[in-house]
A and B are shown apart, each in its own frame.
Chain A
């Protein structure tokens, strides 16, 4: 029997450092057969970094992203630490950790307060002209202000250790290029009581919004999968360093404590002709069932604990809200705010360390031909792998970015949501809204352009098997 499939395209979904769209393939009965999140713009960093000097790489590759450049800067530097054979001195590691915590704090604040909270506060089906940051400022000015100030604090931390709030220089192979100024440290310490209080408020709000709609959230785009994260040797979450740990969908440990260079054996990548984004999977489980989730929801459930007390209490509370592993994409928001609190506490902890303002910044060692760096970026596990020739030029580069690690998980979530909300062959605003909310829960890079101004320029077309447009709906022309 030949099955006839119909195709619905949501195009453009948003800008993802470029462009993305969603296609839904329907069978004759109108059921969603498959969902595809396409990243249709070719970025090419892996190609054009080849032939460049290795010390340039942390500054160049961070241009992949305007939201989390620090993660790329740090991840590249970690990979190149291995290339220069260096173990960065304690001051450098602590300054990098401070950078990273500031980065996560500002990125998480941006996502929750500016991008996601309008969906959660106003409802997925609410008026799109109000469901945005401007609407949030009008209706909940104090909340919006806290979001702005939390983000500002994270960016100030970045500016102090990285030179600029976006696209600075900080981490270099073997270390970092500056200490934290004492007056900056003292100013941050004065702000921290507020930052921690607002972070606690954010956790409480995310918790409230999640529990208020727990039944709806539970089934919204929920698809079990394996989980992946970095974990410290003592089992606590380590966002900057540590070993790779994966758990299966039921929480059983698949592997643990594996170093960065083992990624190539653990993770394979599948290429599909309809997307420039690859599909990673755990090699041992195969491409069909080996896909996994990364990011806050995975991290809080992969680790044994958080190293900071308030955040660990919040994590336990989060875990207690479900039995077994929580796979609901909308739980990402609560988990993300627990991490925000963890970062605020971690920044305070680091600021009391004198190593930030004195001590060696760079170390050297015996030159190696390649290096792998792994870090937990705001959106999840980020992998940089470089090979360097004897002439110091890059000969090969492989990047597996966080959003790529979540690729199949996002596709599965979209399919699940589309199945739930599709109404026959009709494309409705409701379907668009829900697909949008599902994608955004993962905080892929596309969410910033998607929602910052509240108008996601969606175009949906229903196309029959012969390629004829049966109906279409467009938002964003008003």
Chain B
């Protein structure tokens, strides 16, 4: 039986029923830029970086199911400009100092910026004041880098069953909080073995005392960027 297909930038992509566009594309080795989409969690559609045109309409490819005969466009100049603007806004909303950040070379936001050739801030830096939480003996929270993807919220809730994290406020005031009366991570049940420890795509949730242990050239995204991982072209793949 012939599998259903859609075209992505003119290339036929076959898929299984129920797969989203980004899942089918990944399986076919075609990279659609993404940020909050995580293969172990249901689609969330919060960052909108993976937006594509489906039959001419802008849709998040992580939440849109693939359908037979769809015409999907991803690699267009207009979409690239939109993605660049989204990434720029994420950068200026927080305090992202890649040169001094231990997540450099392992940060999805940084890699996405490189992939999209984002070379300037584009917007005025908001420079928010966000103190770090170093109360936990083994975990550091650096809220300066939070992009509100909610992966830690979902991991802590759905997998760890601890609800350590939550988003508070709305709109411009939205921010990540620690679910304790004191607001301190030390007063939660968070442990380094939690799933929430390993899902942050940026540099918010960090192991203490481990920064910069990977030398430049051997950091995860030096070896294999998110695009290379999908396209199967990583240095070690």
Interface string of A385-398 (1 = CB under 8 A from B): 00001011100000
A52-B132, A163-B216 known, 8 other contacts, Cβ within 8 Å: A53-B134, A53-B208, A59-B100, A163-B215, A163-B217, A172-B213, A177-B214, A391-B134
Q: Does A216 contact B (CB under 8 A)?
A: no
Count, chain B residues at interface, CB 8 A: 22
Q: Which residue of A lies closest to B101 (CB)?
A: A56
Interface residues of A in 329-386 (CB under 8 A from B): 362
Q: Does B194 contact A (CB under 8 A)?
A: no
Give complex CA distance A362, B100 in Å.
21
Interface string of B200-214 (1 = CB under 8 A from A): 000000101111111
A51 and B100 within 8 A (CB)? no
Identify the 8 closest CB pairs spanning chains A and B, nearest first: A163-B216, A178-B215, A60-B100, A391-B134, A55-B211, A177-B215, A169-B212, A393-B134
Interface residues of B in 118-148 (CB under 8 A from A): 131-132, 134-135, 140
Give complex CA distance A389, B209 in Å.
13
Closest CB in chain B relative to A328 CB, distance in Å: 39
B209 and A392 within 8 A (CB)? yes
Interface string of B84-119 (1 = CB under 8 A from A): 000000000000010111100000000000000000
Q: Which residue of A lies closest to B209 (CB)?
A: A55
A172 and B212 within 8 A (CB)? yes
B140 contacts across to A, CB distance below 8 A: 53, 392
Q: Can you list 19 pairs linking A and B with CB atoms under 8 Å apart? A: A51-B131, A53-B206, A55-B102, A56-B102, A56-B212, A59-B102, A59-B211, A59-B212, A60-B97, A163-B216, A164-B216, A167-B99, A169-B212, A172-B211, A172-B212, A177-B215, A389-B134, A392-B134, A392-B140
Closest CB in chain A relative to B213 CB, distance in Å: 6
B209 and A56 within 8 A (CB)? no
Give complex CA distance A58, B132 in Å.
19
Give complex CA distance A161, B30 in Å.
36
B100 contacts across to A, CB distance below 8 A: 56, 59-60, 63
Interface string of A158-202 (1 = CB under 8 A from B): 000011100111101100011000000000000000000000000
A84 contacts across to B, CB distance below 8 A: 209
Interface residues of B in 175-213 (CB under 8 A from A): 206, 208-213
Give complex CA distance A332, B163 in Å.
63
The listed residue with most B CB atoms (<10 A of its CB), out of A58, A59, A63, A389, is A59
A56 and B217 within 8 A (CB)? no
Q: Which residue of B lies closest to A181 (CB)?
A: B217
B212 and A168 within 8 A (CB)? no
B210 and A55 within 8 A (CB)? yes
B208 and A392 within 8 A (CB)? yes
Q: Which residue of B lies closest to A174 (CB)?
A: B209
Give complex CA distance A84, B211 in Å.
14
A63 and B212 within 8 A (CB)? no
B99 and A53 within 8 A (CB)? no
Interface string of A81-100 (1 = CB under 8 A from B): 00010000000000000000
B134 contacts across to A, CB distance below 8 A: 53, 389, 391-393
In-complex Cβ contact of B213 among A52, A177, A391 (8 A): A177
Give complex CA distance A76, B195 in Å.
33
The listed residue with most B CB atoms (<10 A of its CB), out of A169, A172, A362, is A169
A55 contacts across to B, CB distance below 8 A: 102, 208-212
Q: Which residue of A lies closest to B134 (CB)?
A: A391
Interface string of B133-171 (1 = CB under 8 A from A): 011000010000000000000000000000000000000
Interface string of A80-120 (1 = CB under 8 A from B): 00001000000000000000000000000000000000000
B216 and A169 within 8 A (CB)? yes
A63 contacts across to B, CB distance below 8 A: 99-100
B215 contacts across to A, CB distance below 8 A: 163, 169-170, 177-178
Give complex CA distance A56, B99 in Å.
10
A53 and B210 within 8 A (CB)? no
Closest CB in chain B relative to A73 CB, distance in Å: 10
B214 contacts across to A, CB distance below 8 A: 177
Give complex CA distance A360, B226 in Å.
31
A58 contacts across to B, CB distance below 8 A: 212
B132 and A53 within 8 A (CB)? yes
B212 and A393 within 8 A (CB)? no
A51 and B211 within 8 A (CB)? no
B218 contacts across to A, CB distance below 8 A: 178
Give complex CA distance A125, B157 in Å.
74
Interface residues of B in 33-71 (CB under 8 A from A): none
Give complex CA distance A163, B215 in Å.
7
Closest CB in chain A relative to B133 CB, distance in Å: 9
Q: Which residue of A lies closest to B207 (CB)?
A: A55
Give complex CA distance A41, B104 in Å.
29
Give complex CA distance A362, B209 in Å.
12
Closest CB in chain B relative to A280 CB, distance in Å: 27
B131 contacts across to A, CB distance below 8 A: 51
Interface residues of A in 393-441 (CB under 8 A from B): 393
A59 contacts across to B, CB distance below 8 A: 99-100, 102, 211-212
Closest CB in chain A relative to B204 CB, distance in Å: 13
A53 contacts across to B, CB distance below 8 A: 132, 134, 140, 206, 208, 211
In-complex Cβ contact of A51 among B99, B132, B135, B213 (8 A): B132
In-complex Cβ contact of B212 among A52, A177, A391 (8 A): A177
Give complex CA distance A167, B206 in Å.
22
In-complex Cβ contact of A393 among B101, B132, B213 (8 A): B132
Q: Which residue of A lies closest to B140 (CB)?
A: A53
B102 contacts across to A, CB distance below 8 A: 55-56, 59
